[in-house]
């Protein structure tokens, strides 16, 4: 599988997100092949003498009734025009309306040159990329203690050591990613790192885990946010699913407006949350300090399990859920302002520091206050009540928490399209994920994420709690692979200090893999098996997609692969290609299917004859008499072109015609057969049922035949002025 | 509206149903126009020298790997091949399977030359065409007496005079149609007669009435037949709708097998019914004769209405329902063996005689036996019980009645497709109704009828009783118009004896119109208003269809109508046409949209350059750098063809390209622009999502532009052999 890195594979561009990613440049070998082909090219004079000015200059012939180049196309340099917004207006009324609606929702289109300005400042990147990560302090402690309390209130004393281990994990993973961002400054996501340092399958495995995790994050956090709202306002309960879909639509719209606008929209709630929780932690610590950090004993809880290694591991794994945000930064490196990697490291450091401070502060306060999880009130709420018994502070903490949980989804909106972009660049997912929309957002990825999340949310009727066990497995799979990859990376490059760096990453990898294995085993029956099944399936799908694109790339390559049994003699290859690639070697046969004698037929006949190439008319007739009648008309016309009649006594038209053309091609595989199909284009869709659509079906049938070129000559009814009645 | 009859209208063919109806011959003027055009035609030599033998002779070049002409195409005469069944086999596995299933269901295809053998003998025509008409004796007397008994049992004495009037109606309409068949030997349906003798709108009105009636006949009689079965076997009740649809499918399949097979299937039940009811009538009369034709007094029934003219008219109209069968014969004239009109008259006479005999016999017996309608038993069942108190005869009568009611639908299957064929010949309904299927049946009409009936039946959940009042209005509308038309016909032609003939038709018209008006008024609120609304709507739809076809015909006519303000100078017209119709006047510009440099692009470039016409390549680029890169590659290749780059800074590709091409065309409206679009064809449908389909969308966008020819160059992945891995 090392093949992808050779000359024929898609080049891994050194630049970041680019509007030109859909148009990759040729390799040096390709340009050389092109030059060789060009040398053999022979063309006559007419080809360059054009009957119309391609630069649409107003001074050209026909300037009188030309709209002029200024309205839609602006001259740029010789041979180059630039479009104005007018050139993007669709012709149809409906299309124009759609553009109008889009403008209102998404704002005016952004030019490719504003790419750099569309980057995130650090203070915007922090909330955008960390809402998922930071929101985890709202439920991480709870998840940890919920497991631990199974062993009774006596086991709660273990919470501090476990929290300590988690802090170590956070710091280790954070430090690990700081190194990764430096080593892979153009995108440091698990997919890129694992692909590069381990192999494509490892990269795809990490990517599959992340894709699952991101989609689940959106479904679950939106559903949870809406559930918080509907539990406050029960009247809205029946609207839970529509409201959730509305939130997804809002997230989609906000993100489609581009990074900067999305940043402005989504930054405030995260900062609010930081201030609220940070403030609460500080006030809580001050209060605890005032009473000399005395520990309030926890209420007695009966033990239902004994304290065991497995229990501790489960508590550890549960507390570690939803660290996806770290990954988000690493993929988003190219979206930051220059110097990108440096800014990314700073943001990462901020994020992890805040996470560690908040998490350890909260864990400590919970321990000090002797709080235990309750069914009807979250730990965070208990803590807020305890800290702020009076005043509006409790409500603010709760509102900020609900808001940030809702926005946790936004991290996925930021990262998944980017991951898909990188995967599309390597041809593992449809190429359309490379396309930058008219606001420079990765629109197709955003839409795909929204649709997937909306489908899952609707399928589960908004009750996505059963999906929560699916988390963590995917993201820790990615973490582990990324960090193992980094160890490989350091071992391969052996820069100064590589041993220390490899050590840091190895430590991160070890911790991550413990969480991964624990989560996969302990949650297997409650849902994690879905991930265990889905990841390999996704990987296989990506490989199938890649195989298809590889075949296409080979099919259209300028340097076709030599047949296995054939020596790659230079001349032989060029002779093979010459047939189709050099104009002087193309041999034509133009075929016109004739149904009856009318303008459409005559236009098609004049068209083929005017090209001066060998031409043939074919008529499929339901009976002998009709064939004779058409032949008589043909003679009356002057028999200017060879007519072949095929009598189809069972009145089938399409198949005999297609098979006749296939046989012509089979007899002379070296000719290029062009079938010219005249066709009346109706103005209104309803009129389509009035036409046999045989032209449409013929085109479809002929597309199956190799080496057959299909030409449609549309004749428009709107061109015809009906005479006065 | 007399325009249709002039030279530019569709010619009314003098022959009957023909496989060539889809390919109408040119008029003499058209041939003349063609000859004049042909004289100006200039073509070079290459056009006639073909690189492959169009007759697919095995002696030609490449004979070694040709499959030979014998498998799919048989040489016929010079320039003419005939297909063998192998040429009708689709290439795809699924298509082949469909053909196999079709063969099993419908039998082998029939050649156009077996058209004459596919005609009906009189003894087959009688049951096929009369099942609807004759089945009416099963409910006609009941319908009559149900109304009459509202005035109490005393009013039942009026049943004999009313029955007499109905017999007069039957004889009058029958006699009227005998004359019509003679006067219009190639199809004597109301549509044809009213169109010809009154005008197209009258014809369409009659046709609309008949169409409604036929569709209702199928829905109602199938639903009624199944209701008879489910009331005998209540366990089947929940399956009523699926069973009804199954019956419709069976009727469709039987009729798709062609007239002869359908005749053999559907003749027996009708004959069984004739024998059963005829036998019962004879036995009943013999029994009555044995007791001296003494009248058994009817049981006393209280009167709820007074005897009035309206009541009598209602009884008369109710008894007259479902005489559609007579119309069936008149449309089916061309389906009979020669001499068609003579056979049709004979069948008509038989039918009306049998109807009159059975109807009057049953009415007389019912009167003699003093029977009155009961809610839970039909009159026919009462009579059968009275006549055959013992033995299996009662069961036979009932079974035959149920069967023939089910088969009444078959008359519609025979007549409606034929009516649609005649209407399609006049361009009032889609032309596809002209197509004779591979069993020489009017397949599209049969399918349309089945679908319409199935939709109505499903929409009403099988409870179609509420549709019964809709009957009679449509068919008597057609009868009236047809006979008024005949009066016109006789007055116009004034052959010997025309006064007597016009008198017969006028009498028929008068009686029919009484039934029509009575039915429309008395049943208006209970449903007949639907017909009153639907008929004009259908007529308007037909006129819209006709207008579209007229515009198409004009658009493609060889003799374009002169512009209203312009004198039709011969030279001017020819000069106008010359532009598009004479090869020496066609000026080309070939345009190749280029996305990147690969085989598809090079093939397309070689293709256009090999045609030796002015050519232009256009590249739409998302940003300047990319445009420059492609231009460099272009120079490396040798710059063999003019390249124009359009930079689209908002990364929109499709609209700028389409608008650029539109502007080229706008600047030189006299050039023929051919856009050559290379395109990779995927093997499997799932692979389509991996491609941007921009080619497809471009084709769609360009189809909107007049004067632009669209050429697709498909490149098949299956052509490429991937190298050994």
pLDDT at B241 > cutoff 50: yes
Query: Of B430, B557, B629, which is closest to A599 when you measure between CB atoms?
Result: B557
The pLDDT, as a whole number, for residue A324 is: 66
pLDDT at A298 > cutoff 90: no
Say how far residue A640 (Cα) sits from the centre of its chain. 55
Closest chain A residue to B588 measured between Cα atoms?
Answer: A51
- A139 within domain boundaries: yes
Count of beta carbons in the 10 Å neighbourhood of residue A356: 17
For residue A102, give how far its alpha carbon lies from the nearest alpha carbon of chain B (Å). 14
Structure tokens at A111: 């030019």
The pLDDT, as a whole number, for residue B608 is: 92
The pLDDT, as a whole number, for residue B207 is: 94
Contacts of B659 (CB under 8 A, 6+ apart): A72, A73, A87
Element (H, E) at B642: strand B642-647
Confidence of residue B563 (pLDDT cuts 50, 70, 90): very low
The pLDDT, as a whole number, for residue B561 is: 52
- B133 within domain boundaries: yes
Integer Cα distance of A608 and A592 in angstroms: 8
Which residue of B651, B702, B724 is the best one to mutate when testing the A interface, meaning the one whose CB has the most A CBs within 10 A? Answer: B651
For residue A692, give how far its alpha carbon lies from the nearest alpha carbon of chain B (Å). 6
B141 and B260 co-located in one domain: yes
Say how far residue B606 (Cα) sits from the centre of its chain. 47
| Percentage of residues in chain A having pLDDT higher than 70 | 91
The pLDDT, as a whole number, for residue B581 is: 75
The pLDDT, as a whole number, for residue B725 is: 34
Confidence of residue B574 (pLDDT cuts 50, 70, 90): very low
- CA distances to A253, A306, A437, B626 from B651, in Å: 19, 62, 7, 12
- CA distances to A97, A157, B220, B549 from A712, in Å: 29, 79, 46, 21
The pLDDT, as a whole number, for residue A118 is: 75
The pLDDT, as a whole number, for residue A363 is: 92
Closest chain B residue to A553 measured between Cα atoms?
Answer: B598
Integer Cα distance of B259 and B267 in angstroms: 11
B227 and B341 co-located in one domain: yes
Place of tokens 């979250």: A378
φ and ψ at B101, to 5 degrees? Answer: -60, -40
Element (H, E) at B658: helix B654-667
- CA distances to A216, A251, A530, B80, B316 from A461, in Å: 14, 19, 19, 65, 62
B439 and B581 co-located in one domain: no
Closest chain A residue to B50 measured between Cα atoms?
Answer: A614
Mean pLDDT of B589-598: 91
Cis peptide before B411 (omega within 30 of 0): no
- B511 within domain boundaries: yes
- B187 within domain boundaries: yes
Integer Cα distance of A136 and A139 in angstroms: 5
pLDDT at A252 > cutoff 90: yes
pLDDT at A38 > cutoff 90: no
Cβ–Cβ below 8 Å for B561 and A88: no
* B661-B665-B667-B668 Cα dihedral, nearest 10 degrees: 140
Closest chain A residue to B83 measured between Cα atoms?
Answer: A648
Cβ–Cβ below 8 Å for A564 and B710: no
Cβ–Cβ below 8 Å for B556 and A599: yes
- A13 within domain boundaries: no
Mean pLDDT of B282-301: 88
Question: Which of A23-37, A610-624, B223-237 ranks highest by mean pLDDT?
Answer: A610-624
The pLDDT, as a whole number, for residue B583 is: 86
The pLDDT, as a whole number, for residue A337 is: 84
Query: Of A49, A60, A656, which is closest to B87 when you measure between CB atoms?
Result: A656
- A472 or A281: which leads in pLDDT: A281
Mean pLDDT of A643-657: 89
For residue A77, give how far its alpha carbon lies from the nearest alpha carbon of chain B (Å). 10
Which residue in A364, A533, A611 sits closest to B613, CA to CA?
A611
- A643 within domain boundaries: yes
Structure tokens at A586: 């193309």
What is the DSSP secondary structure assignment for residue B336, as one 8-state letter? B
- B466 or A480: which leads in pLDDT: A480
Integer Cα distance of A313 and B466 in angstroms: 73
For residue A183, give how far its alpha carbon lies from the nearest alpha carbon of chain B (Å). 28
The pLDDT, as a whole number, for residue B9 is: 36
Contact A456, A464 (CB under 8 A): yes
Mean pLDDT of B366-380: 84
Task: Count residue pairs from A and B with Cβ separation < 8 A.
Answer: 536
- pLDDT digits over A192-215, tens only? 899 999 999 999 999 999 999 899
- CA distances to A377, A554, B229, B240 from B235, in Å: 57, 64, 10, 10
- pLDDT digits over A550-603, tens only? 988 888 888 765 444 444 444 444 445 545 678 888 889 999 999 988 888 888
For residue B693, give how far its alpha carbon lies from the nearest alpha carbon of chain A (Å). 10
Cβ–Cβ below 8 Å for A548 and B690: yes
Cβ–Cβ below 8 Å for B564 and A723: yes
Among A315-329, A705-719, B438-452, which is the least confidently predicted range?
A315-329
Cis peptide before B339 (omega within 30 of 0): yes
User: Would you list the DSSP string of B707-722?
Assistant: TEEEEEEEEEGGGPPP
- pLDDT digits over B99-122, tens only? 888 888 888 888 888 777 778 888
Q: Which residues of chain B neighbour A30 with C-beta distances below 8 Å?
A: 597
A226 and A358 co-located in one domain: yes
| Percentage of residues in chain B having pLDDT higher than 70 | 91
A360 and A499 co-located in one domain: yes
B307 and B169 co-located in one domain: yes
Cβ–Cβ below 8 Å for A667 and B66: yes
- pLDDT digits over B153-164, tens only? 888 888 999 999
Confidence of residue A448 (pLDDT cuts 50, 70, 90): very high
- Please work out, in degrees rounded to the nearest 5, the angle formed at the alpha carbon of residue B160 by the alpha carbons of B154 and B164: 150
pLDDT at B30 > cutoff 60: yes
Helices (H), A460-497: 473-493
Q: Which residues of chain B neighbour A641 with C-beta distances below 8 Å?
A: 43, 47-48
- A562 within domain boundaries: no
Sign of CA pseudo-dihedral A633, A635, A638, A640:
positive
A513 and A434 co-located in one domain: yes
- pLDDT digits over A393-447, tens only? 888 888 888 888 888 888 889 889 999 999 999 999 999 999 888 888 899 999 9
Confidence of residue A514 (pLDDT cuts 50, 70, 90): confident
pLDDT at B712 > cutoff 90: yes
- A163 within domain boundaries: yes
pLDDT at B428 > cutoff 90: yes
Mean pLDDT of B670-699: 85
Structural domain of residue B649, as residue ranges?
Answer: 574-719
CATH number, residue A618 = 3.40.50
Q: Which residues of chain A neighbour B67 with C-beta distances below 8 Å?
A: 663, 666
- Radius of gyration of the CA atoms of chain B, in A: 33
For residue B194, give how far its alpha carbon lies from the nearest alpha carbon of chain A (Å). 24
B276 and B168 co-located in one domain: yes
For residue A285, give how far its alpha carbon lies from the nearest alpha carbon of chain B (Å). 53
Domain count, chain A: 2
Integer Cα distance of A502 and A496 in angstroms: 11
Q: Quick check: helix, strand or coil at residue B437?
A: coil
Q: Which residues of chain B neighbour A447 with C-beta distances below 8 Å?
A: none
Cβ–Cβ below 8 Å for A668 and B51: yes
Which residue in A542, A578, A548 sits closest to A209, CA to CA?
A542
Say how far residue B710 (Cα) sits from the centre of its chain. 33
The pLDDT, as a whole number, for residue A187 is: 77
- A65 or A456: which leads in pLDDT: A456
CATH number, residue A151 = 1.20.1740.10
Q: Which residues of chain A neighbour B663 with C-beta distances below 8 Å?
A: 56, 66-67, 72-73
A499 and A381 co-located in one domain: yes
Cβ–Cβ below 8 Å for B54 and A642: yes
CATH number, residue B655 = 3.40.50.620
The pLDDT, as a whole number, for residue A723 is: 39
The pLDDT, as a whole number, for residue B718 is: 66
Confidence of residue A716 (pLDDT cuts 50, 70, 90): confident
pLDDT at B290 > cutoff 70: yes
The ipTM, to two decimals, is 0.84
Confidence of residue B277 (pLDDT cuts 50, 70, 90): very high
B520 and B612 co-located in one domain: no
Q: Quick check: helix, strand or coil at residue A679?
A: strand
Integer Cα distance of B363 and B166 in angstroms: 11
- B598 or A67: which leads in pLDDT: B598
Mean pLDDT of B351-371: 92
A520 and A601 co-located in one domain: no
User: What does the mean pLDDT of chain B come to?
Assistant: 83
For residue A427, give how far its alpha carbon lies from the nearest alpha carbon of chain B (Å). 9
The pLDDT, as a whole number, for residue A400 is: 87
Query: Of B430, B610, B660, which is closest to A689 when you measure between CB atoms?
Result: B430
The pLDDT, as a whole number, for residue B359 is: 92
User: What does the mean pLDDT of chain A come to?
Assistant: 83
Confidence of residue A282 (pLDDT cuts 50, 70, 90): very high
B501 and B644 co-located in one domain: no
Cβ–Cβ below 8 Å for B55 and A556: no
């Amino acid at each position: 599988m090392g093949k992808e890195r050779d000359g024929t594979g898609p080049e891994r561009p050194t630049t970041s997100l680019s509007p030109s990613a859909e148009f990759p440049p040729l390799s040096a070998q390709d340009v050389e092949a092109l030059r060789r082909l060009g040398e053999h090219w022979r063309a006559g004079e007419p080809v360059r003498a054009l009957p119309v000015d391609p630069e649409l200059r107003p001074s050209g012939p026909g300037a009188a009734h030309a709209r002029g180049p200024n309205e839609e196309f602006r001259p740029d340099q010789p041979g180059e025009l630039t479009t104005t917004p007018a050139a993007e207006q669709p012709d149809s009324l409906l299309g124009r309306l759609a553009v109008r609606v889009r403008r209102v929702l998404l704002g005016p289109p952004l030019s490719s040159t504003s790419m750099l300005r569309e980057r995130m400042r650090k203070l915007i990147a922090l909330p955008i990329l960390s809402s998922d990560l930071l929101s985890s302090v709202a439920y991480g402690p709870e998840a940890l203690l919920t497991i631990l309390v199974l062993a009774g209130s006596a086991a709660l004393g273990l919470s501090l050591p476990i929290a300590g281990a988690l802090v170590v994990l956070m710091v280790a993973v954070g430090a690990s990613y700081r190194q990764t961002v430096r080593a892979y400054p153009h995108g440091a996501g698990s997919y890129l790192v694992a692909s590069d340092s381990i192999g494509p399958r490892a990269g795809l495995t990490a990517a599959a885990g992340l894709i699952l995790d991101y989609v689940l994050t959106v479904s679950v956090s939106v559903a949870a946010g809406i559930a918080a709202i509907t539990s406050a306002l029960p009247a809205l309960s029946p609207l839970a699913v529509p409201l959730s879909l509305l939130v997804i639509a809002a997230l989609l719209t906000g993100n489609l407006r581009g990074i900067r606008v999305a940043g402005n929209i989504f930054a405030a709630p995260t900062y609010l949350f930081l201030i609220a929780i940070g403030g609460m932690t500080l006030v809580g610590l001050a209060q605890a300090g005032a009473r000399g950090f005395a520990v309030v004993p926890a209420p007695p809880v009966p033990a239902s399990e004994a304290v065991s290694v497995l229990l501790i591991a489960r508590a550890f794994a549960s507390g570690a859920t939803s660290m996806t945000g770290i990954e988000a930064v690493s993929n988003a490196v190219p979206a930051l302002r220059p110097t990108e990697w440096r800014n990314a490291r700073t943001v990462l450091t901020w994020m992890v520091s805040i996470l560690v401070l908040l998490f350890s502060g909260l864990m400590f306060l919970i321990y000090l206050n002797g709080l235990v999880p309750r069914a009807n009130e979250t730990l965070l709420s208990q803590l807020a009540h305890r800290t702020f018994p009076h005043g509006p502070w409790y409500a603010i903490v709760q509102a900020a928490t609900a808001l940030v949980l809702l926005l946790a989804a936004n991290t996925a909106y930021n990262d998944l399209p980017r991951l898909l972009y990188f995967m599309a660049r390597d041809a593992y997912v449809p190429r359309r994920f490379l396309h930058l929309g008219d606001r420079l957002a990765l629109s197709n990825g955003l839409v795909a994420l929204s649709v997937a999340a909306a489908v899952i949310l609707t399928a589960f009727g908004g009750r996505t709690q059963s999906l929560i066990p699916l988390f963590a497995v995917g993201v820790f799979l990615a973490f582990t692979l990324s960090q193992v990859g980094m160890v490989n990376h350091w071992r391969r490059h052996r820069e100064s200090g590589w041993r220390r760096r490899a050590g840091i990453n190895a430590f991160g990898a070890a911790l991550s893999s413990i969480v991964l294995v624990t989560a996969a085993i302990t949650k297997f029956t409650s849902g994690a098996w879905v991930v265990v099944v889905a990841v390999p399936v996704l990987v296989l799908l990506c490989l199938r997609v890649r195989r298809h694109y590889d075949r296409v790339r080979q099919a259209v390559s300028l340097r076709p692969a030599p047949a296995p049994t054939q020596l790659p003699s230079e001349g032989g290859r060029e002779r093979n290609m010459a047939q189709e690639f050099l104009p002087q070697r193309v041999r034509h046969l133009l075929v016109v299917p004739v149904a009856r004698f009318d303008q459409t037929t005559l236009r098609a006949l004049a068209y083929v004859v005017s090209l001066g190439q060998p031409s043939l008319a074919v008529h499929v007739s339901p009976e002998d008499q009709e064939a004779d009648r058409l032949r008589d008309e043909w003679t009356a016309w002057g028999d200017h072109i060879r007519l072949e009649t095929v009598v189809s006594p069972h009145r089938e038209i399409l198949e005999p015609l297609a098979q006749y053309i296939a046989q012509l091609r089979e007899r002379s595989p070296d000719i290029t057969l062009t079938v010219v199909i005249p066709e009346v284009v109706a103005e209104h869709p309803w009129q389509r049922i009035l036409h046999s659509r045989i032209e449409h079906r013929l085109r479809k049938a002929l597309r199956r035949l190799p080496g057959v070129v299909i030409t449609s000559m549309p004749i428009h009814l709107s061109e015809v002025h009906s005479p006065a009645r």
